[in-house]
Homo-oligomer: A and B are copies of this chain.
Amino acid sequence: MAGLGEFDFIRDRLRPLSEDDPAALDLADDAALLAPEPGEEIVLACDTLIAGVHFLDTDSPEVVASRALRSNLSDLAAMGAVPRAYLAAIAWPVTLDPDWRADFTRSLHREQSRFGLTLIGGDTTATPGPLTLSFTLIGRVPAGSALRRSGARIGDDVWVSGMIGDAGLGLRVASGSGGEGISACRRAYERPEPRLALGQALRDLASAAIDVSDGLLADAGHLASASGCALRIKVDAVPRSASAQAWLARGGEVEALLTSGDDYELLFTAPPDRRTALDGVSARLDLVLTRIGVVTDGSGVAAERADGSQLVPTRTGFTHF
């Protein structure tokens, strides 16, 4: 194969991403070595992204690097964790242009700096298959304070951050399957914003949290299941951007907004007496937080339209199988 060999690539391209973090051992040892602080727990999230499955073959190296880190960071956000470092297992297609690889690592470097991460280990290899990225993100939380999916209680409010459905519309734009009037949504797909500051603020306020990666209704279902209760969600209360509203007005289906994945917003529950505090968090972070429903007895998710009818989705969210 043309270009750098594995060891040269690690030395020249990846080692700078370790930023002299002592945990990385210069990426020159068998493993990374992390020294936890007293009183903290370690949060470990691992997600795989595959070209043609989780991102478009035509996505730029910048977009792939951004999505790989940010989708993983969103899992840390959902636990209320502070990012610390990551390991990158990268399988490059044997036919990959070396320039693409160089652009990708440069983009990764910019992205990790933005989120205070360092690369402390991993593995690079060649594959006859598509580009495959398995990142393991490492975060930390004060012991006992991590947010979970399982803490929702009957009577809690259901909240969501940001706008729902824009990333799904953005994917339509990026893939060329209908982008009229929704081009502004492309950024939501290409550069989702992991809600790290919100997750950390929610440690003392929320009873349960999950990030919206499979689609709002699917992830609401995961939270309901883990908590052993039901979520009743008002369809009209789910926040949507001006682009999404205009798209609906032109005949778009609201179901698409509630079931497309990749929003990477936080869906969370909190007792009603936290409303004022949560409004304060919203103001401090300059991030819209919207009450979209309540936790009730039972199981599953009920999505109710304004006329009282149920929205029963034909698909509840993105699944890989």
Copies in the complex: 2
Interface pair B129/A50, CB less than 8 Å apart = yes
Which residue, A40, A134, A148, A149, has most C-beta atoms of chain B within 10 A? A134
Q: Report if A53 contacts B (CB, 8 A).
A: yes
Q: Report if A230 contacts B (CB, 8 A).
A: no
Interface pair A127/B132, CB less than 8 Å apart = yes
Q: Report if A256 contacts B (CB, 8 A).
A: no
Interface pair B45/A75, CB less than 8 Å apart = no
Interface pair A44/B48, CB less than 8 Å apart = no
Interface pair A28/B211, CB less than 8 Å apart = no
Q: Report if A87 contacts B (CB, 8 A).
A: yes
Which of chain A's residues 10-58 have a Cβ closer than 8 Å to chain B?
25-26, 28-36, 38, 40-48, 50, 52-54
For A211, the chain B residues whose CB sits under 8 A away are: 30
The one of B1, B25, B31, B53 in contact with A76, judged by C-beta atoms closer than 8 angstroms, is B31
Given contacts A5-B321, A38-B38, A54-B125, contact A48 B87 (CB under 8 A): no
Interface pair A5/B319, CB less than 8 Å apart = yes
Interface stretch of the complex, out of A138-146, A156-164, A275-283, A300-308: A138-146
Q: Report if A6 contacts B (CB, 8 A).
A: yes
For A123, the chain B residues whose CB sits under 8 A away are: 46-48, 134
Interface pair A148/B29, CB less than 8 Å apart = yes
Q: Report if A184 contacts B (CB, 8 A).
A: no
Residue of B nearest to A219 (CB): B30
CA distance A128 to B129 in the complex (A): 7
Top 8 A-B pairs ranked by shortest CB distance?
A129-B129, A31-B45, A134-B134, A89-B134, A30-B75, A30-B78, A125-B320, A34-B42
Some 28 contacts from A to B, beta carbons below 8 A apart, are: A6-B320, A6-B321, A9-B321, A28-B149, A29-B148, A29-B226, A30-B45, A30-B78, A30-B211, A31-B43, A31-B44, A31-B79, A31-B137, A33-B42, A36-B42, A44-B87, A44-B121, A44-B138, A50-B128, A50-B129, A53-B125, A89-B89, A126-B321, A127-B132, A129-B129, A129-B130, A129-B132, A136-B136
Interface of A toward B, CB cutoff 8 Å = 1, 4-7, 9, 25-26, 28-36, 38, 40-48, 50, 52-54, 75-76, 78-79, 81, 87-91, 120-130, 132, 134, 136-139, 141, 143, 146, 148-150, 210-211, 222, 225-226, 319-321
